[in-house]
Chain A
Amino acid sequence: MDLGNLLLAPLELGFFVRALAAGVLIGTVCAVVGTYVVLKGLAFIGDAVSHAAFPGVVAAFILQGPYLIGAAIAAVATAIGIGYVSRRARIRTDTAIGVLFAGMFALGIFMFSTIHGYVGDLFSFLFGYLLAISPGDLAALVLLSAVVLVIVAVFWKELLYSTFDPLGAAASGLPVERLEYLFLALIAITIVISLQAVGIILVVAMLVTPAATAQLLTIRFSSMMGLAILLAIGAVIGGLYLSFWLDVASGATIVLVQTGLFVLTLGLGPRTGLLARRPGGRAA
């Protein structure tokens, strides 16, 4: 089998094309939102919100409702809850996140363990199964992605200013606190639409890794976001093909490709790599 055939043969399969389309869309949304997540230092919140979506997914499974709604309710509620607790309560934010996310995940596992019978679909939410995405899932994904991307397109300046200098932005009249809650909701929606691709455990990598890799390569916000999108799409396409050829888990393969790109950039990148010129003259 030649290379052209290796690349083209899977495209004749409907499920593979759907997986590619969904993966590219998820990668784009994750990279856009992830750029702000990385700059705000919210990676841990991303991890927490994804785990907190689990009880929502299980509840939807038990009630035979749409998983997307269950996950969205649980994720958005947790994200807003974390925002509120970290502003009002007298405990450190990371402690509040740790308490909330472990508690929510435990609730999910507890509910999960009460189900007797077939639970195969639920495992795909833990570890992701992009190749199983249905046309209906894909339609919902397109809709929610559009919502997230439009909101970021409208508020990108305001989000950027309040991320960079929250005090200066708030003093000059930007509604920084409301932007913060809006952004937490965007993180939650992004995570919900990514769950089926890579699963609860790995979704934080989709959110953080491409943006972190991009930050190593550029000094400008707009190019960081653009590069993050390219890296995410590249990793999704590469990871999907690899998982197809090797017959291994697609979500994990995508994340491994992203991680590989990050390590490669860290090692060889022009600004941070081993070959980069260091300030202080120790050039290699």
Chain B
Amino acid sequence: MDPMRGQQDDHPGGHDRAGGHDHPHGRGDGHRLPVVGAGIDAGHAHAHADIWLSDVTAGYGDRVALEHVDLAIEPGTLLAVVGPNGAGKSTLLKVMAGLLVPWHGRVEVLRAPAGREAHRIAYVPQAELVDWHFPVTVHDVVIMGRYPALGPLRRPGPADRRAVDEALEKVGMAEHRGTQIGALSGGQRRRVFLARALAAEPDVFLLDEPVTGVDTTTQEDLMDILEAEAKRGKTVVATTHDLACAAQRFQQVLAINRTVIAHGPSSLVLDPAVLARTYGGHLLVLGGQAVVLDDAHHHDEAAPGEPHFHDDSRSKTP
């Protein structure tokens, strides 16, 4: 195995995926986590969770990015992760994706240690981490979503091409399949990466800033797609700077600032008192409407050595 991975104890939960699908979307309040702190019924939450973190502390070098994070996310959840820059949103996603092994604590995804069920996970990095001058077309990027399941030697077949076509159709990029990715607008680039995630047909979506820097039409389209995936029982975790989007389009919100400040239904978490604790001095409350005084275009915690490509598309129209 990859030495980055699989260092947690093997700790299979009681339910397999097939058993977990009978939860209706927006299930009863009995399963809901309290707004602040860890679950009361921790064992129950663990057994039912698609993503489960227990006392996770993680960082880069000697810099702590996340501390004592406890979290359980059930299948079919559409969760927004909000918090100021440097709050550890991207780090949390990387820990869930098995890209970063925590210093302390346990992480289980799909009832296995993080990274073990990788072929059932689709991760989309921030736009800044992608080299947009890379010689690949829209189609080339989306079909990459099929590569891990294919394995070496096997070439993409009809089933893979169908999955790519469907994904491109869903995100409305079918007519741009032959376009080099650098020629796309910011919104189109996010659509393409969501299409790659869809083409992989995962059970868990981990999306870093999927709607940052996109126009409202694209934002609505992408959120409709994610909502539909959650309704099918897929788990969707997305970081965002956009509190209005988190409030209107996400079923649950996780507010973090190095540790979990609040986790629960968006209406309860996106409350001025909780947000003030999450954002500290960077939040302005105007007549019940929270305004984050934050640079939303500045991404947080690039890992050491991580390439960083500036997205030069923001000024273009979609």
Residue positions of A touching B, CB distance < 8 A: 39, 41, 86-87, 90, 93, 154-155, 157-158, 160-161, 164-165, 167-178, 215, 218-221, 223-224
Residue picked from B3, B94, B137, B144, most chain A C-beta under 10 Å = B144
In the bound assembly, the distance between CA atoms of A76 and B131 in angstroms comes to 28
How many residue pairs link A and B with beta carbons under 8 A? The number is 99
In the bound assembly, the distance between CA atoms of A155 and B98 in angstroms comes to 22
In the bound assembly, the distance between CA atoms of A160 and B118 in angstroms comes to 18
List chain A residues, Cβ under 8 A from B122: 168, 171-172
Cβ contact within 8 Å between A177 and B144: no
Closest Cβ of chain A to B164, distance in Å, is: 14
In the bound assembly, the distance between CA atoms of A171 and B202 in angstroms comes to 11
Residue picked from A87, A164, A172, most chain B C-beta under 10 Å = A172
In the bound assembly, the distance between CA atoms of A174 and B125 in angstroms comes to 15
Cβ contact within 8 Å between B4 and A221: no
What are 29 A-B residue pairs whose CB atoms fall within 8 Å in the complex? Answer: A39-B131, A41-B307, A154-B153, A155-B152, A157-B150, A157-B152, A158-B147, A158-B152, A164-B134, A164-B136, A165-B144, A167-B94, A167-B97, A170-B2, A171-B99, A171-B206, A172-B122, A172-B145, A173-B148, A175-B1, A175-B2, A177-B2, A218-B135, A219-B135, A219-B137, A219-B180, A220-B137, A221-B135, A223-B135
List chain A residues, Cβ under 8 A from B180: 219-220
Secondary structure call for the A interface: helix
Task: Select one of B121, B147, B202 contacting A161, CB under 8 A.
Answer: B147
Cβ contact within 8 Å between B140 and A171: no
Task: Select one of B97, B137, B144, B153 contacting A160, CB under 8 A.
Answer: B144
Q: Does B200 contact A (CB under 8 A)?
A: yes
Q: Does B281 contact A (CB under 8 A)?
A: no
Cβ contact within 8 Å between A172 and B135: no
Q: Does B177 contact A (CB under 8 A)?
A: no
Asked whether A86 and B94 contact (CB < 8 A) given A39-B135, A154-B153, A172-B118, the answer is no
Q: Given contacts A164-B131, A175-B1, could you give 15 more A-B pairs where the C-beta distance is less than 8 Å? A: A93-B305, A154-B152, A161-B144, A161-B148, A164-B136, A165-B130, A167-B94, A167-B125, A168-B196, A170-B98, A170-B99, A171-B118, A172-B148, A173-B119, A219-B137
